[in-house]
Amino acid sequence: SQQGEEDPQALSIQEGENATMNCSYKTSINNLQWYRQNSGRGLVHLILIRSNEREKHSGRLRVTLDTSKKSSSLLITASRAADTASYFCATESKTSYDKVIFGPGTSLSVIP
């Protein structure tokens, strides 16, 4: 069964606003990652948060992880039109090393 699920499926915001995407998963994990996919391209790694971490920042990105609720959120602050893409969370479970499972993704549209 699917390891991670994103919410919402699609999000449309104005440039300059913040975008928040959520991810839920089902099993115990070693780490959770977020990836971005621009239309017609491969996925690009954004940020990795380990199971013993609660929050991580990278530029305009902020990721939180709540292992008790098996959920994570990705916050993009001061969004730009170039942030328009699909965003995926991915998990590596404690029992399946190297097996990275992706959620269905959130499609983000940032309107200039």
Partner 1 sequence: DTAVSQTPKYLVTQMGNDKSIKCEQNLGHDTMYWYKQDSKKFLKIMFSYNNKELIINETVPNRFSPKSPDKAHLNLHINSLELGDSAVYFCASSLNEKLFFGSGTQLSVL
- Can residue 13 be called a binding residue for partner 1 (CB under 8 A)? no
Interface with partner 1, residue 65, by CB under 8 A: no
* 74 in contact with partner 1 (CB under 8 A): no
* Site for partner 1, residues 78 to 97, rule: CB under 8 A: 86, 88, 90, 92, 96
DSSP assignment, residue 79? Answer: -
User: Sheet harboring 55-58: ordered strands across?
Assistant: 4-7, 19-25, 71-76, 61-66, 55-58
Q: Which residue, among 27, 1, 15, 3, has the nearest Cα to 88 in the 3D structure? A: 3
Q: Which residues of this protein are in contact with partner 1, per CB under 8 A?
A: 30-31, 33, 35, 37, 40-45, 48, 86, 88, 90, 92, 96, 98-102, 104-105, 107
